[in-house]
Amino acid sequence: MNLDGLNKDQRKAAETLEGPVLILAGAGSGKTRALTYRIANLIDHGVKPWNILAITFTNKAAKEMRERVSSLVGEGGDEVWVSTFHSMCARILRRDIEKLGYTRSFTIYDDDDQSSVIKDLIKQFNIDDKALPAREIKSKISDAKNKLQAPDDWFSQSPRDFRSQQIHDLYDAYERRLRHANALDFDDLLVRTLELFADHPPVLDSYRDRFQYVHVDEYQDTNFAQYSLVKLLTKKSRNLCVVGDDDQSIYGWRGADIKNILDFEKDFKDATVVKLEQNYRSTANILEAANQVIAHNEGRMEKSLWTELPEGDPIELFCAGDEREEAAWICDRIQQLTIAERSCGDMSILYRANAQSRVLEEMLVRAGIPYRIYGGLRFYDRKEVKDIVAYLRCIVNPADDVSLRRIINQPKRSIGDSTITELVRYAGEKEMPLYSALVDVPETLSARPRKCVREFGELMNELVLSREDMSISEFVTLLIEKTQLKVQYERDLSDEGKNRVENIQEFIGSVREYEEATDDPSLEDYLENVALVSDLDTADFESKAVTLMTVHSSKGLEFPIVFLAGLEEGVFPSGRSFNDDQRMEEERRLCYVAITRAREQLYISYATQRMLYNQVNYNAPSRFLNEIPKRLINDEWISKREKIFPGAMDSYQHPTPKRASRYAADGTAGVGLGTGVNVLGISGVQKGFTPSLAKAIPSIAVAAIFKEGDRVMHRKFGEGDVLEIRGAGNEARIVIGFAAYGQKEFALSIAPIVKVN
């Protein structure tokens, strides 16, 4: 194996093949490179590819690693098992889950499904959902599962109060519900795999034999269940190689335990530790900023990143009046960079919370800048798509009550709440799945609903039968026909309706794509993909568009130019971490991750006033800003702000809160004020490219993104040229020359125009 392309430390990582290995890899230190070379080297030393397991954090990372290994070793590279924990477990369970009393066609419940089970149980138990909200129960259950605590285990280490008792009861009932529905939630995939291994030693042994060399990437973000699984698998071989960076542990809220990586050397006394400290990604300035910020955390593993790269540009800092100005400044910078021949594909805008993306999107549309947004709503999470998926799940797994309830009256077939309640009661009484009640309809229902239910039952049975003799895509097409799922939207001629029809069409396309790309396609396997594939997994960064995403999503990625928006107290760091040191340290690690995404240029912005979650706040600049040495920052934009947004200050002197206070001090309802500003949102422009549909975003900040000579598109008058911009701030007006309509003048702050290139 030729390891010349590696530095000294990377080479050590790739050459240490036996025993436990800890690779402490700083941001941008080429850890994926080291890992792929190590795997290739193992194969080179005669290890069979199928005896190697590599666990990554996302499916996309898995795919990339498989490709990189293949390109190093050629044939056989794709025989290496590379997948996420969840995909691996799903695959293991698909084989042997019958030993645990489930069937192989089990359903994987997503977040929504979990919530609906819990909400239903809360109702059934007659629990006050204000004292115990569903989301809290959900996170409690998830926490418990991540720690491998069954309901009784959890209870035995909780305070013996009524509240814990209720949580215990709900957790217990939740578990039984899922079991009855032949369904597993995300956490179950791990828990049940461990259960399988614990109860069936021969199964465990077969996987121990199979996975002689185990690799875990992003080890700092593993939880106790994942840790246990890894330990169990490598107990005999002791060939475990983990890669991670304690400074990039950002999933503590999801049960990830940073101690897993901090204590690795205690766990494996003879572990070889390799530190990758040379950064190949960022300029010296950016790296120094990141190093200084993270130095404010305590209890880190010792390591110091360095680079041979030049100093580079300073970090550009801007203080905006509000979130729209911030967005406008970013758009203006992007336009300037584009003029300097930088591609939009090299740029990314990162933010703490998904909710921040909306304003950015609106402004990007106006400025005519192509962008893609990741996170937020997945394609498979759209209503119309989820409905089809729910049908498919019911057909594959008739015990799946949650999915059945979702579609029993979708599209409308006159099966209302009271009918459903009765069906559920009847099914519960006879201890059978809800599906059976469609055929064995309870006598207690009156004639009309009974007819509707029976018709629906016949439709479903018909579908189940026709699945036998056709391909998956043919079947999905037939299903959409018979259920009239598409027809109902085709009648709707609005943008939303058209969008839904398109999404349904695209769904059929995705099924067909899957069918062609897979050796042995099955509906079960397809549904598993739907459940486990994230938005980011399907992302392509090839297109020349600015990438928008949360800092969390950006982990593992890099961009030449990064905009980091919303660096304010309460936003980043999140207000929820204020009174918890542990969480605050995680916020700081998150900031470290954000900064280290940038290769060449980093732009940071914050706003003195921000409307977020429908509330106006005046936030101080983020503490993380103070942790970056002044000498690395160019803050001249702040003093130029008046020039970029002339007259902008005026409108910020009398900010109008949307609602003064929802409740008066005495507990009576207060009077809402209303902004008086009509915000025409842009609908249907997700992952957007075509700005032609854009409506007006009333904002004086938009002035900054239009200049004389620009070509613009008006919603009514079509394309024209900007001839003149008069006045400033709220009073600013824009004169546009249209070929067909001649010269027109508009108030710039509300004109429905977008820039075109």
Partner DNA sequence: GAATAAATTGTTTTT
Partner DNA sequence: CAATTTATTC
User: How is residue 170 written in tokens?
Assistant: 């709900």
Q: What type of residue sits at position 159?
A: P
Distant-in-sequence, close-in-space partners of 260: CB < 8 Å, separation ≥ 6: 219, 220, 222, 224, 227
How far apart (Å, rounded) are the C-alpha atoms in residues 526 and 94?
Answer: 13
CB-based contact 660:672 (threshold 8 Å): yes
User: Is the Cβ of residue 297 or residue 354 nearer to DNA in the bound state?
Assistant: 354
Instruction: Let me know: does 72 contact 44? Beta carbons within 8 Å.
Output: no
128's CB contacts (< 8 A; 6+ apart) are none
* 686: helix, strand or coil: coil
- What is the amino acid identity at position 203? V
| Angle of helix 111-124 versus helix 134-146 axis, rounded to 10 | 120
Q: Which is nearer to DNA, 81 or 85 (CB)?
A: 85
- Which CB sits closer to DNA, 43 or 445? 445
Which residue, 78 or 111, has its beta carbon nearer to DNA?
111
Q: How far is the CB of 113 from DNA (least distance, A)?
A: 12
Structure tokens at 268: 């494996």
Which residues touch 421 (CB under 8 Å, ≥6 apart)?
none
Region for 647 from its dihedrals, namely left if φ exceeds 0, alpha if ψ lies in -120 to 50, beta otherwise: left
Cβ 84 to DNA, closest distance in Å? 4
Measured torsion, CA atoms of residues 572, 573, 577, 582, in degrees rounded to the nearest 10: 130
Tell me the closest approach of the beta carbon of residue 717 to DNA, in angstroms.
25
Of 222 and 291, which has the nearer Cβ to DNA? 222
Report the Cα 45 to chain-centroid distance in Å.
Answer: 38
CB of 62 to DNA, least distance (A): 9
Q: Give min distance, CB of 557 to DNA, in A.
A: 12
Half-sphere exposure of 624 (CA within 13 A, CB side): 33
**Phi-psi region at 729: left, alpha or beta (left = phi > 0; alpha = psi -120 to 50):** left
Q: b/e map of 275-300 (b: 16 or more CB within 10 Å)?
A: bbebbebbbbbbbbbbbbbbeebeee
d(CA 74, CA 212): 21
Nearest to 397 by CA among 471, 477, 467, 480: 467
What minimum distance in Å lies between the beta carbon of 552 and DNA? 4
Min dist CB 5 to DNA, Å, is 29
Question: How wide is the angle at C-alpha 571 spanned by C-alphas 569 and 573, nearest 5°?
Answer: 60
β-partners of residue 712 are 720, 755
Across the strands, what pairs with 241? 21, 215
Q: Please give the backbone phi and psi of residue 514, each rounded to the nearest 5 degrees, phi first.
A: -60, -45
Query: Looking at beta carbons only, is 614 or 653 nearer to DNA?
Result: 614
Q: Please give the full DSSP string across 510-576, using - where no structure is assigned.
A: HHHHHHHH-SS--HHHHHHHHHH--TGGG----SSSEEEEETTTTTT--EEEEEE---BTBTTTBGG
Distance of alpha carbon 754 from alpha carbon 717, whole angstroms: 12
Question: Rounded to the nearest 10 degrees, how much is the dihedral formed by the CA atoms of 471, 475, 476, 477?
Answer: 110
Q: Which is nearer to DNA, 185 or 400 (CB)?
A: 185
CB of 183 to DNA, least distance (A): 15
Using an 8 Å Cβ cutoff, are 415 and 456 in contact? yes
Question: At closest approach, how far in Å is the CB of 479 from DNA?
Answer: 21
**Count of other CB atoms within 10 angstroms of residue 258:** 26
Q: Which residue has the tokens 């002689």?
A: 212
Backbone phi, then psi, for 373, in 5-degree steps? -120, 135
Q: How far is CA 100 from CA 93, 95, 182, 516, 532, in A?
A: 9, 11, 11, 33, 22
Taking Cα atoms as reference points, which of 321, 344, 314 lies closest to residue 331?
Answer: 344
Q: What are phi and psi of 81, to 5 degrees?
A: -80, 110
Q: Active-site positions?
A: 31-32, 217-218, 248, 597
Looking at the Cβ atoms of 235 and 576, the one nearer to DNA is 576
Closest CB to DNA among residues 446, 743 = 446
**Residues lying near DNA in the complex (CB under 7 A):** 57-59, 84-86, 111, 119, 130, 133, 135, 186, 250, 253-254, 352-355, 358, 375, 409, 412-419, 446, 449, 532, 534-536, 549-550, 552-553, 574, 576-577, 583, 613-615, 662, 679, 681
Query: Angle, nearest 10°, between helix axes 472-483 and 447-467?
Result: 160
